[in-house]
Structure 1
């Protein structure tokens, strides 16, 4: 049975996708993690102006190649495309949540914003990042579930699409990029997708991680050459089975993977038969530009983006053209 969607949400979601219904969106909402990366590459302090300059430059150069841009209201609202094409704007609503600490990672919203104010600022969709472990203490997960319910209700009241980005974690495992977590990740991702697909949350699009860590997939170019967590066939099965746990349209995020690795994993997902509706990724497209900006400045960044950043986003778009499915195939558009 297809899902119901309001007319207002449907019309806004259409603006976030291309004419085929594929979401080919670029994320430029990174905040504290990006600030730290610029400072690390420079070897000295980075400022809020650095953050705004970097993000605005990325948005300006790559806007013509994206179906939508995910921005944050604190640093991105001065984005002005110099091109005839102006993509749809999504806005992040959560406080910067790239916190890799050992706690419960309880979320919070930007205190000076509401969904209404974000829509008034030009948002065609709202994005929330949420750290989640389906096996966390009951009280912790209830707090996170209620948080999502409230945002879903706020978005429903204003008929604005709600993109939820749940990122799985395990505070008992020290290295989230290691083999132990790679083996647990498929189950965590599947259970999390299943939970937030329930109608009570009001989510319209899930922005999800790959259920596998590419570095541990044997017989792929991404494999790190040490111990594998999955065979290639097991990875295909995990991609296929995880995709089937949700009736919602879902899109993949790059999670810091290189462009080459991300494209290979999208091709693997397509081979598995995963019915994904596109991507909303950032670092796979522009992360190499951080070093350029930190050491050579904004003009060097713009030059790098014009050649290499453009090539990166176009390579992702080429994969989507043969692999992704329209977001609207999950919805009853007559509702």
Structure 2
């Protein structure tokens, strides 16, 4: 059972719906969003275009989400545009990682601290860590110490710590391919076990589903790697890997596949507590925004974007469980 302070408990409630389900919208993308907008536009939109897109997403879609995840580099104006009932998570990591060095080592935004993010109105801090449970001990020890420092900083500021874990294998380049799919359950579930340890002071894990759904029987027309029964077992093992609240990230899959994945997880008995869903909700709105301007982007968000998030909310009501069942106040 996770023990939360009174302030952390109150913050968690601001990030959730009345039933303790986290239905959060993620738009903390920076480099990848810049590329998406640039590819969709014949004009140079620049940094201001990223800021404006985040603002319209926040303004139009937080009416339907329990909270929003933004970055302090481009997202603070969007934080001010969010619906008054929506909580705020702020990202603390630099975008991407240094591909010239081994280990995908993490780094923080130089001019920010947990204290400063909290002063900007954050209800929780989110940090993204790339992690390979089988990588060299000296690399993973660096990551362990790094997360320990983050956890201690969040404890000092009495603010929830959301750790986003993205798995990989140092020797397999294509994490969406056949070879990685075979070992993904081990990679995802074992890293959850590691960062559920009390020493890291994590309050919520933001994680991938433990299988690649494109290789699950019934979800692919081609060769499958996991039978439905095997995939269900991996979801069960994921729930058993942690006592912490955990939420799913959408990992860039389509809105429909993400909804189907949540249904499958619930049928398997997964004990997840919500989602932090990004591109699956808003990515198809980038093109009209970049090509035709803000009005076209707003129109897309008010129609398809709204449908994506309200349909996801309907699925969450049937599938996710309250994080309140996993915590008690200190």
Q: Which band: TM-score by shorter chain?
A: over 0.9
What is the alpha-carbon distance in structure 1 between the residues aligned to residue 269 and residue 77 of structure 2? 40
Change (3 A) 1:84 1:236: closer
Q: Does 1:183 align with 2:179?
A: no
Tell me how far 1:311 sits from its aligned partner.
0.3
Structure 2 vs 1, CA of residues 73 and 190 (structure 1 numbering), >3 Å: closer, same or farther? same
Alignment partner of 2:280 out of 279, 284, 291:
284
Q: 1:42 aligns to what?
A: 41
Q: 1:44 to 1:187 in 2, by over 3 A?
A: farther
Separation of aligned partners in 2, 1:268 and 1:282: 20
Alignment of 1:1-335 (within 5 A): 2-42=1-41, 45-79=44-78, 85-97=84-96, 103-220=102-219, 223=220, 225-333=221-329, 335=330
Matches of 1:75 and 1:32, distance apart in 2: 11
Q: CA deviation at 1:83?
A: 7.5
2:203–2:245 CA contact under 8 A, matched in 1: yes
Runs of at least 5 residues in structure 2 that lack an aligned partner in the other structure:
none
Could you state the TM-score of these two structures normalised by the residue count of structure 2?
A: 0.96
TM-score, normalisation: structure 1? 0.95
| TM-aligned CA distance change 1:77 to 1:327, over 3 Å | same
CA contact (8 A) 2:15 2:66 kept: yes
The separation in 2 between residues aligned to 1:235 and 1:42, in whole angstroms, is 40
Q: 1:182, CA displacement in angstroms?
A: 0.8
Q: Relative to 1, partners in 2 of residues 1:113 and 1:245: Cα closer, same or farther, differing over 3 Å?
A: same
Measure the CA separation in 1 of the matches of 2:66 and 2:41: 32
Query: Is the 8 Å Cα contact of residues 63 and 81 (structure 1) preserved in structure 2?
Result: no
For residues 40 and 233 of structure 2, the distance between their equivalents in structure 1, rounded to whole angstroms, comes to 38
Distance (Å, rounded) in 2 between the aligned partners of 1:98 and 1:294: 26
Q: In structure 1, what is the Cα distance between the partners aligned to 2:235 and 2:64?
A: 27
What is the rounded CA distance, in whole Å, between the counterparts of 2:252 and 2:20 in structure 1?
25
Q: Deviations over 1:25-82 (max 9, x none)?
A: 0001111011112222336655211211111111110011010110111111112666
**Higher mean C-alpha displacement, 75-84 vs 290-299:** 75-84
Give yes or no for contact 1:97–1:129 (8 Å, CA) kept in 2: no
Distance in 1 between residues matched to 2:227 and 2:208, nearest whole Å: 19
Distance apart, 1:294 and its partner CA: 2.3
Question: SS of the residue aligned with 2:75?
Answer: coil
- Please give the root-mean-square deviation of Cα atoms over the aligned residues, in Å: 1.6
Following the alignment from structure 2 to structure 1, what is the Cα–Cα distance between the partners of residues 176 and 253? Answer: 11
